[in-house]
Chains A and B, each alone.
Chain A
C-alpha cells in the first residue's frame, strides 16, 4: 500500500503536464497577449538587461521539450532508487512447512517465532506420511518437512555459507526445537522452563561508531550520480546556448545593444535558475517520496548530505558555467563542441569517479582530501566527506570559500575570452589567438 502515494504523485505530474499542454495549444498568439511570469518580472526588474536576458533563458529552457522530458526521466530514476529497495524490504516471503506426525503447541509456537524472526509467513501443511511429504518437498509444493517436531528435512543439504531465507529459517527453527527438547529432557518446572525459553539478550557495543553503511551511503552515491548528471547537463546547456547564439549570428544583433559581459551574465543566471529549479524539484520529490513510502534512504546524515550536494551543485555550476561559455564562444559550428568540451570534462569526470569509489568503500585518503578542496573536483568530493562524517563545518566553509574565489578568477578570464571570440566568425577560433589579441 505504500506505493499508493508514489502512484498519486506520478498521476498528478502527468495531469499537470497534460493540462499545460492543452492550455498551450489553446492559446493562439503570443506573447504580446500573455503577461510575464513572476520569476520573469523579478529578473527583469532586478537586473535590467541582465534580467531580461536571464528571463529569456529561463523561459526558453523550461519551455523546451528536452528540459521537461529530462526532468521526468530523472524523477523516474530517483523514484525507482527510492521505491524499489522498500518493495524488496517489505516483501514478505511465505514458507510452507509439511508436518508429519504430531505437532505440540510448543513446537507450533517455535515454528511461528522462527518465521517471524526472518519476516517469513509460515503455512503449515499436514502430510499423510513421510514418503508423501518428501515427494511434496521434491516437487516444490512445500519448502521443508518437520517430522514429529524432532527432525527437519530440506530439499538440499545446507552448507555454512548458505544464507537463503529458507536455510536461515531452518537453522533458527532447529535451534528453537533443540532448546525445547533440552528443557523437556531436564524435567524442569514450568517456571524454570519459561525462563530458559526467554533468555536474556547480551548487548554488543563497539569502541568506535559503525562505518556509514546502507541508507546514508546509498544517498551519497545517489547524490553523487545526480550531481554529475545535472552538472554535466547544465554545463552542456551553457556550451550549446553560447554556440547557438554565435552560429545563428543573433549575437551580433544583441551585442549592438547590450555589453558582452551582461549578455554572458544573463545567460549564466537564466540557465542557472532553470537548473536550480530542476534540482530543487528533484530534491523535494526525493524527500517527499522517501517519507511517503517509508524509505530509510534519507535517514541519519542523509538530509544534511543532500543539502550539501545541492549547495555544491550551485557552486559547481558557478565554477564550470564560465569555462563552458568561453569554450562555446570559440566554436563556429555545433559539431566542434564535443572536441572543445572534452578537456573541460576531465576534471569533472575524475572528481566523480574517485568520489564514487570513496563513497562506496567509506575509506578516504590524503589524495581524496585534496580533491575536496580543489575547486574543479570539490563539488563531488566534499559532499562525500560530509556524508562520511569526515568534514568539520570549517573545512566545509574553507572548501566553499576556495571555490567561490576561484570562480571569480575563472569568470574574469572566461569573460575576456568570450568577449574577444564571440564575434569572430568563419572558422573555429583558437584559444592562442584570443589570448594574443588586444581587442
Chain B
C-alpha cells in the first residue's frame, strides 16, 4: 500500500471565524481526489495547512502514519489558487529553479524541466519570459513547476479555472497519469462535471467541516433510486403523478425523471407505466455530482 496523506482534526481560527473545524479526511496514493466546497468553505486554508503555510490551532497533517515534516513536504507538489511565478523570469529557468529547491540536482532538474515542458506542449517557450505567455500557458508552466521534481503527492487549488476545453483535457490527462503512476492527487474545483470525470473520490466540505466523502460511484448510486421513463402519448407523465412513493422531479423532452422512495419497487413503476401506454424508454440514472453537491450542502 502506498503512502497516505491524513488530515486529522484540523482546526484553524481567524479571530471569531473558524476556517477549519475538526476537519478529517485522507488522500490515498494512486487516486485523484476531488476537493469540493462552496467559496469560503476552507479549501485553500486546508491546502495551505498541508504545506505548513499557516499554523493550526488543533490537529495535525500526517504522511505515511507520522506527522509530516519539512523534508517530506519537499516531495509534494503544490499549485496554489493564485498562481505563483516570477513574471520576468525565463520559463525554463523558473521550472528548473523550483526543481532545484525541491531537492533535484542540477542535471536532473534540467532534464525534468525539458521533459515536462515538452509533455505540456510549451517547450518552445522555454527561453521566453513567463509574463509573455497566455493564461493557459502560464497554467501549464505552473503545473510543470508542481511536477518537475516527481512528487509523491500533488495538491492543486483550482487547476482547471480559466482553461479552454483543450487545456482542461491536457491537465486532466496529466493528473490521471500521475495517479496511475502511484501519486496521490488532491485538487479543488468548481467545475463539477470535470471533477466527476477525473476523480475516483470526492470530499465535500462546508464552513471548514467535512460534509461528505466517498467514491464518486458510491455517491452517484447512493440515496434514492432515479428512473427516466418515457410513455408514448403522455408527455406530461400524468400516469406517475398519483403513484405513492414516486416524485416527478423533471420532465425533459417528453421523458419523466422520477425519484423513488426506498420502499418502492421499480418493477411496480414499470407496470404502472405500461398500463398508461407504450413504454419507449425505461432506465436507471446515476446522480450527477452536482446533485450530490447540492444535496450535501442543502
Contact = CB atoms under 8 A, between A and B. Distances in A.
B93 interface: yes
Contacts, number: 91
Contact residues on B (Cβ < 8 Å of other chain), bracket? 35 or more
B147 interface: no
Given A254-B101, A259-B70, A439-B54, A30 B84 contact: no
B198 interface: no
B127 A252 contact: no
B76 interface: yes
B187 interface: no
B286 interface: no
Contact of B86 (A248, A256, A257): A248
B108 to A, nearest CB: 11
A256 B53 contact: yes
Interface in B11-37: none
23 contacts: A30-B90, A30-B92, A30-B126, A31-B90, A31-B96, A32-B92, A32-B113, A44-B100, A52-B97, A248-B87, A249-B84, A252-B48, A252-B80, A253-B80, A253-B98, A255-B53, A256-B52, A256-B73, A256-B76, A257-B98, A258-B101, A439-B54, A439-B55
Interface string B76-96: 101010111111111111001
A47 B51 CA distance: 23
B127 A29 contact: yes
A427 B79 CA distance: 22
Interface in A347-380: none
Nearest to A36: B106
Contacts of A27: 127
Interface of B: 48, 51-55, 70, 73-74, 76, 78, 80, 82-93, 96-98, 100-102, 106, 110-111, 113-114, 126-127, 145
Given A29-B127, A252-B80, A257 B102 contact: yes
B54 A423 contact: yes
A254 B98 CA distance: 8
B21 to A, nearest CB: 18
Most buried by A among B85, B86, B145: B86
Contacts of A33: 110
Contacts of A60: 86, 88-89
Nearest to B103: A257
Interface residues of A, number: 31
A29 B92 contact: yes
Contact of A423 (B53, B100, B101, B111): B53
A250 B76 CA distance: 16
Contact of B127 (A30, A36, A253): A30
A432 to B, nearest CB: 15
A127 interface: no
Contacts of A248: 84-87
Nearest to B44: A252
Contacts of B100: 44, 52
Nearest to B55: A439
A29 B53 contact: no
B93 A31 contact: yes
A249 to B, nearest CB: 4
Nearest to A256: B51
